[in-house]
Structure 1
Amino acid sequence: MAAASPAECAAAAALRSVLQRVNNAADLSGRASDRIRVVAVSKTKPVPLIRQVYDAGHRHFGENYVQELVEKAPQKLPDDIAWHFIGNLQSNKVKPLLTKSGVEPASCVELARHVSLNCLNLEFCGFMTIGMPDYTSTPDNFKTLANCRSEVCMALGMAEEQCELSMGMSGDFEMAIEMGSTNVRIGSTIFGARDYPKKLSN
């Protein structure tokens, strides 16, 4: 078995640091850290690097591009990895994955009710945001999504604990956790800066 490269060793160490930061942020929010899922976003990163993070004990990985997800998943990676698709989908690539897109906050109750009542092949389970259109997040963005969850849960008669909030990335995940996030998406902080050798499409 080949020795781990410096990048692979660094990714495993970075994962441990991220998990400690998640624990600290969870403490500040008054929640248990095991209620917060960390998705290691591995876009543009090679399979050996993903494997090193897996070997460090991590199981949730995310991809932004359909092409990368369908190529990486079968490549000698263990079956117990939980893959998360977190990008936008073009209509011609919806078939192998669930469809997903964004809505304005004012439409969240209507959409959640429609999915819950009329879409028999879909299960409404929560909300996700990346912040403003320029990908910057502020406490107001996170507060808006938390308010959407409260409104939807009241309208559907759900407990808020049953409705996930996926918000927070490498630059703001601690603030997101403190404001209620149950799912954070961490890429460059674990894997390092991304390389884009060729254009990838969704």
Structure 2
Amino acid sequence: MGADAKQDSPTHDVVGALNCVRERIEALSSTQNGRRVDLVAVSKTKPPELLQAAYDAGQRHFGENYVQELVQKAPLLPPDVKWHFVGSLQSNKAKILVSVPNLFVVESVDRKKTATALHKAVAKTDRNEKLKVMVQVNTSGEESKSGCQPGQTAELAEFVVKECEHLELVGLMTIGAFDTSDEPEAFKILNKERDAVATRLNRSIKELQLSMGMSGDFEAAIRMGSDSVRVGSTIFGAREYGNKVIQG
């Protein structure tokens, strides 16, 4: 086989894997009273060519973990891509993040300082709409993972709603510890935190989306009520850091 064939193969792998994930999501959605579940293709460290292949196959929601990477990729993809920022956000990076015109949602608001930085940054742009945000909850208690602690979620959510007029709270997100059980504990916790937020804000739980589930557990997440799942390595392949292969 020539060099061209080798270059083409990753594209075909992405499209095939993407369609397989979609089929699995649709099969589960049909058992959830037709509830819509959005697929966010998490493309961190992956080249724009693979994202374009997914886009050409109909994918529109993409997720990135690093501000600089999102800022660099966004102009290289079509403007109707809906970018989800799903990584830990330093307050001093808020301004450059919101400069991306098609930034769809920031899923990783984990403290008041982050919310305030985003609020102030959006205020200085010409955005016509509020920036959608989610409160990230650390459901595993791991220091390596970002997120507010369970029990503090409602307070942070209320702060976003009452003190950050340029932000729109749309739900909660978690990464959680990997759990192969049918009902992972992380997802139970996030559902309980949503109940607490709904009570505090006097909202219906239907108004608050859940973003939970990744490559290894997105099907369990859907069964437990997730409105969107973030799938990376299953679509784009494992990420390599030094001698480690990272799945997610």
Tell whether the structures are fold-level matches, with TM greater than 0.5: yes
Letter matched to residue 10 of structure 1: D
Match of 2:16 among 13, 16, 23: 13
After TM superposition, give the deviation of residue 196 of structure 1 in Å: 4.2
Report the secondary structure of 1:73's partner residue: helix
Is 1:84 the equivalent of 2:109?
A: no
TM-score in terms of structure 2 length: 0.72
SS class of match (2:30)? helix
Structure 2 CA distance for aligned equivalents of residues 90 and 156 of structure 1: 27
- Superposition pairs for residues 90-101 of structure 1, below 5 Å? 90-97=90-97, 100-101=109-110
**CA positional deviation for 1:13:** 0.7
- Counterpart position of 1:150: 195
1:71 matched to 2:72? The reply is yes
The one-letter code sitting in structure 2 at the alignment partner of 1:79 is P
The match for 1:123 is 168
Alignment of 1:51-200 (within 5 A): 51-75=52-76, 77-97=77-97, 100-101=109-110, 102-132=147-177, 136-137=178-179, 139-196=184-241
Equivalent position of 2:122 in the other structure: none
Higher relative contact order at CA 8 Å, sep ≥6: structure 1 or structure 2?
1
| Separation in structure 1 between the aligned mates of residue 152 and residue 222 of structure 2, nearest angstrom | 24
Matched, 1:25 2:70: no
Asked if the contact 1:25–1:175 (Cα under 8 Å) also holds between the matched residues in 2, the reply is no
Which piece of structure 1 moves more, 164-173 or 110-119? 110-119
Moved over 3 A (4+): none
2: distance between equivalents of 1:24 and 1:144? 25
Q: Deviations over 1:67-111 (max 9, x none)?
A: 110111112x11100011100012321222367221111011111
Measure how far apart 1:31 and its partner are.
3.4
Larger strand fraction of residues: 2
What CA distance in whole angstroms lies between the structure 1 residues aligned with 2:165 and 2:70?
A: 26
> When the two structures are superposed, what TM-score results if normalisation uses the length of structure 1?
0.87
C-alpha RMSD of the superposition: 1.8
State the one-letter code of the partner of 1:90.
Q
CA offset digits 1:88-147 (Å, max 9, x no partner): 012321222367221111011111112111221221111000003xxx246111011011
C-alpha contact (below 8 Å) 1:44/1:196 kept by paired residues: no
Q: Name whichever of 19-28 and 186-195 sits farther off.
A: 19-28
How many residue pairs get matched? Answer: 190
1:200 match: none
Taking every aligned residue pair, what percent have the same amino acid on both sides?
Answer: 50
- Worse-matched range after superposition: 3-12 or 176-185: 3-12
Once residues 110 and 45 of structure 1 are traced to their aligned partners in structure 2, the CA distance between those partners, rounded to angstroms, is 36
Letter in 1 for 2:167: L
Q: Is the 8 A contact 1:126 1:165 kept in 2?
A: yes
